[in-house]
Amino acid sequence: MDQLVVSDLVVEFARAGHRVPVVRGVSFTLERGRRVAVVGESGSGKSVTALAVTRLLPPTASIRSGSISLDGSDLLGLPERSMEDIRGGRVAMVFQDALTALDPLFTIEQQIQAVLDRHAPRASRQARHDECLELMRAVGISDPERRLRAYPHELSGGMRQRALIATALAGDPEVLIADEPTTALDVTVQAQIVDLLRRLSDERGMAVILITHDLGVVADFADRVVVMYAGRIVEDAPADELFESPAHPYSAALLDSLPSLDGPRMRRLPSIGGAPPDPAALPAGCSFAPRCARATGECDSEPVLVTIGARRVACHHAGTA
């Protein structure tokens, strides 16, 4: 069943008197308890899409058109007060750098309790404390009694990210949006955090949207992968299908630039030539065409997202290769 439905979302930024579209007609659905990874380069619009879902866009950005609904109710039409109940209570966000996303002046317990008090008030002090301990154990923090009394700067990077996830879980959300939660961490800790998110999703039946620029971390995490480029979805496919046979040249290029364990060791990692287009000056037609090896005259017209089997692709050449 579709829990979160985003359709035809257009987000624009005001820049030097102009409106620059950063998200251009994004549609996707998230089923209850499923895990979706949104992948793309910086500036592809993946984070902006996530911020739009929780209506936390910066003041220079505005949602031009489209709709976002949670369990059938429209989020864009809600008054701000009701939106505050939804944030953290039903849709929670975890941000990139846990050191800056936790307030340095409060202990971990105070920060978890702030969210608890907001969304799931407990009767007694003991019950609140027990709930905090429970959340700390759920995110795999050892010696939780002691860590609860720590300030953010006293914890290691991985532990901070776990603590931040604990604050996000405090409101018992149905959907967790994690915006590059592993970027500030080293590789082994990255894997642990992704594992943790997958386990929490399974245990709690919580849907997760993982936003990342690293296809490597999503392989055994996501049910589905949404690939974004220049503000559009270029491919949306079940994870195994995407890794098996990417349909969009951009997805293929992304996969190609992943280091492989069993490939030749001395191979130079391929990279995608050129740079993503400036959203203020997009090329006519397919945005990826200037960097695409398979571009033809056809690509002067913008491809639409078409459904092919279990996936959606926006490429004139999809299915012909």
Partner 1 sequence: MSSIESAGLSAGRVPATLAPIEIARRFSHRRIALVSAALLVLIVVLAFSSDLWLTRDYADQDPLVRNQPPLGDAGLLGTDQLGRDLLARLMFGIRLSVAAAAFGVLVQLAVGVPLGLLAGYRGGWIDSVAMRSVDVMLAVPGLLIALLIGMNIKEQVASGSGAVADVLRSIDRLTAGLTPVFVVLVVFFWVSMARIVRGETRVVMARDFVRAARGLGAGPFRIVVHHVLRNCIAPITVSVALLIPVTMLTEAAMSLVGVGVDPPRPSLGVMIYEGAQQINSFPYQTLVPSITFAAVVLLVGFVGDGLRAALDPTTEQGR
Residues forming contacts to partner 1 in the complex (CB under 8 A) are 54, 56, 81, 84-89, 92-97, 100-107, 109-110, 113-115, 118-119, 125, 129, 146, 148-151, 153-154, 164, 167-168, 170-171
CB nearer to partner 1: pick between 60 and 65 = 60
CB nearer to partner 1: pick between 32 and 55 = 55
CB nearer to partner 1: pick between 208 and 315 = 208
**Cα–Cα distance for residue pair 108/151, rounded to 1 Å:** 6
Q: Is 27 left (phi over 0), alpha (psi -120 to 50) or beta?
A: beta
Matching residue, tokens 């971390």: 217
**Cα–Cα distance for residue pair 40/165, rounded to 1 Å:** 23
CB of residue 146 vs partner 1: minimum separation in angstroms? 6
CB nearer to partner 1: pick between 55 and 294 = 55
CB of residue 122 vs partner 1: minimum separation in angstroms? 12
**Cα–Cα distance for residue pair 292/16, rounded to 1 Å:** 31
Q: What is the DSSP letter of 141?
A: -
CB of residue 190 vs partner 1: minimum separation in angstroms? 19
CB nearer to partner 1: pick between 163 and 196 = 163
For residue 94, give both structure tokens: 């975890």
CB of residue 50 vs partner 1: minimum separation in angstroms? 10
CB nearer to partner 1: pick between 15 and 146 = 146
**Cα–Cα distance for residue pair 108/105, rounded to 1 Å:** 10
Q: What is the DSSP letter of 123?
A: S
The sheet that has 2-15: what strands, in order across it?
Answer: 18-31, 2-15, 61-70, 73-74
For residue 319, the tally of other CB atoms under 10 A from its CB is 11
CB of residue 160 vs partner 1: minimum separation in angstroms? 12
CB of residue 258 vs partner 1: minimum separation in angstroms? 29
